[in-house]
Amino acid sequence: MTDNIFYSTVQSPLGDMIAGSTDKGICFLEWHDRGGVERILSRVEKRYKKPLEEKISEHLLKLQNELVNYFDGTLTDFEVPIDVNGTEFENRVWDHLLKIPYAETRSYGEIALELGKPGASRAVGRANGSNYLSIVIPCHRVIESNGKLRGYGGGLKRKKYLLDLEFRNFNRLNSTNSIVSDKL
């Protein structure tokens, strides 16, 4: 057991990411170009108050494998343990994001209502923007109430790509399931 946060670069079809883990689980997964690696590492070190070490951990290996499967369309739910460290409200929002099913979206307002905080859509947006676990905590599934894409730390092109990937794979997986069940 160590007090360090291990981190490593992770490749994705959308560009390099940097990921980190504590002994408990993955604590961050950010796009390299979201403010630069040094800035990301500095924010993480301040938030967790633990030293950083560039080293691959068991959790990082599992994350890397799950990301490959996610982008291949064979993984719809991440199983790698996570270790988030936000405010009480941020943690509630992030927990709620984890419950948004693959290939579905929610608006900031819907999430605020579901959390019992009507009118707090901006606060939900801020918590969404403070999410350190891009893709794993699916903040890309949150959209405006009019259906338009808005805000994503990795940029709107990546958000659109992730949503398109999920919709495409969901439809493929469901059409495969219905073809099989039709033959039974």
Active site residues: 139
Residue showing tokens 């419950």: 99
DSSP secondary structure string, 79-103?
-S-B-----HHHHHHHHHHHTSPTT
Q: Which two tokens stand for residue 152?
A: 């994503």
Helix ranges (DSSP H) in 9-81: 37-48, 58-72
The answer to whether residues 30 and 137 touch, using CB atoms and an 8 Å cutoff, is no
